[in-house]
Amino acid sequence: MIWTEKYRPSEFSDIRGQDNAIKRIEAFVKSGNLPHLLLAGPAGTGKTTTALVIAKKMYGESWKHNFLELNASDERGIDVVRSTIKDFARTKPLGNYPYKIIYLDECDSLTKEAQQALRRTMETFVEGARFLLSCNYSSKIIDPIQSRCAVFRFRPISFEQTKQIMDSVAKNEQIVIEESAMKDLHELCGGDVRKLTNLLQSCASETKTITSKTVYEVISAAEPKEINQILEMSVKGDFINSRKLLLDTMIKHGLSGLDIIRQIQKGVWSLEVSDSSKVDMIEKCGEIEFRMVEGSDEFIQLEALLASFSKVGKQ
């Protein structure tokens, strides 16, 4: 079986795709003078893994006694800052260490009041505790907290790095991943290694040879060729058949309107139409998605989208 924890790195050198940030963080750890850190970036890019590696490198076997991990999305209120965090920060570290580490995951989910309390706590207990904060959107963190931290921005994992991870998993688990499937997995995961590993586990539970078809069956998404066929029909003016194929595809894969509108938006770029037509089609995709989010009927909006594509094709 493929488990995410099994492949979680234990060394800084094993963390993929964040070389510049990891080198600077590793230098802090080696010097023993760790500042407060703010790790910002998309999900599944190594923020929590980095925090765990920092704790293990600094404290060794006793890292669990000197490391507090909290998920701010579950406990978002000011009481958590005033009780749990303060109680842990004011106690002395176990062993001959100068300070403990408090890791606050998804801290952009903290309320503004809790963030205001946290800024003061970070200042008061700086001698006995260091704060590692992670978030998806650093803009949601108040400026006083950002100014107290060294900010590191994590980026989505590139295809080259993702391929190395998949090659390693394939070798350890004795499975075969086709090159086309690797590209599809990377595209679907968007640089999220956690999602990638879960998808690989789902695919490997069905077959030892993972193909593009396997990937799209597991993720319950339409294959790109199906989307392209729908788009080509609509652009050629065959609105009735493109509408029928769209409905069949949605029923076949159990897709919602929002699921398929994102695939359509990606498929537009592969059409053989002028750049100005592509711009018009992308603009229409954005408008239709907005209408869906606001509660409009999905299929009526998708029909309107295909109808507008037919007009673009005729022009």
203 confidence band (pLDDT: 50, 70, 90): confident
Cα 249 versus chain centre, distance = 27
Provide the β-strand partners of residue 129. Answer: 100
Residue range 234-275, pLDDT digits in tens: 888 888 899 999 988 888 888 888 888 988 988 888 888 888
Using CA atoms, how far apart are residues 186 and 66, in angstroms rounded to an integer? 36
For 64-88, what is the mean pLDDT?
75
- Return the structure tokens found at 167: 């090659």
Do 250 and 295 meet the contact criterion of CB atoms below 8 Å apart? no
Do 189 and 156 meet the contact criterion of CB atoms below 8 Å apart? no
Q: Which conformational region is residue 27 in: left (phi greater than 0), alpha (psi within -120 to 50 degrees), or beta?
A: alpha
2 confidence band (pLDDT: 50, 70, 90): very low
Least reliable range by pLDDT among 42-46, 84-88, 209-213, 224-228: 84-88
Do 67 and 74 meet the contact criterion of CB atoms below 8 Å apart? no
Q: Structural domains in the chain?
A: 18-153 (3.40.50.300), 159-219 (1.10.8.60), 224-314 (1.20.272.10)
Residue range 8-53, pLDDT digits in tens: 667 888 888 888 888 899 898 888 888 999 999 888 888 888 999 9
**What is the residue type of 202?**
S
pTM above 0.85, yes or no: no
Q: Which of 80, 70, 140, 142 is nearest to 101 (CA)?
A: 70
Using CA atoms, how far apart are residues 110 and 116, in angstroms rounded to an integer? 10
Q: Indicate the helix (H) or strand (E) that contains 147.
A: helix 143-147
Using CA atoms, how far apart are residues 42 and 183, in angstroms rounded to an integer? 20
